[in-house]
Amino acid sequence: MVKLGHPGKPNRLLMTNEKDTILATTSGFAEYTFDRQRAIYLASAAVCLVRPDEVWENPNLNTAKWVYIKEFDATPYAFTILLVGERDGGKVPVTSFPGKNRDARKWRRGTRIYP
C-alpha cells in the first residue's frame, strides 16, 4: 500500500519474496524505502476498509475486484478510494489514493454491493 522499495532489488517487489523479511521486521521499515506521499493516506485507507460509505464490484479492474469509497470532511480531497482484491480466498487491499468528487464518480462503476 505504501509502495515499498529496496536499494538492491528490482523495482517491483513481490510479497512472496519479501514476506519473511517484512514479518521479521520489528522496528521501522528495515532496509526498505517507501513512498511518503502514499504513506500519509494510510489512516484514511484503514477507515475506508473497515467503514466504507460505498462498495462497488467492478469486473473490469485488473488487480482488484472491489472499489471501496469513503467520504471525509476534508478539502480538496474529500474521498479515499481503496481498491480491494481477492487472494487465497480473502480480501486484501491493493492500493488507495485520495480523490475529489469527480474522482469518486469515476470509480462508481460496476455493481454497487454496499449499502
Give one DSSP letter per residue of 31-52, joined into a string: T-B--HHHHTTHHHHHHHHHS-
For the purposes of burial, counting CB atoms within 10 Å of the CB of 57, is it exposed (0-12), middle (13-18) or buried (19 or more)?
middle
In Å, what is the CA distance from 35 to each residue of 4, 11, 32, 102? 7, 12, 10, 25
Mean per-residue pLDDT of the chain: 91
**Pick from 82, 84, 86: which is nearest to 96 by CA?**
82
Cell of 68: 471501496
Q: For the whole model, what pTM was predicted?
A: 0.80
pLDDT band, very low/low/confident/very high, at 4 (cuts 50, 70, 90): confident
87 vs 53, more confident? 53
In Å, what is the CA distance from 68 to each residue of 56, 89, 110, 115? 7, 18, 12, 11
pLDDT digits (tens, 9 = 90+) for 29-60: 888 888 777 778 889 999 999 999 999 999 99
The pLDDT > 90 percentage for the chain reads 62
Q: How far is CA 42 from the centre of its chain?
A: 8
What phi, psi does 80 have (nearest 5°)? -110, 130
The pLDDT > 70 percentage for the chain reads 99
Strand partners, 68: 55, 82
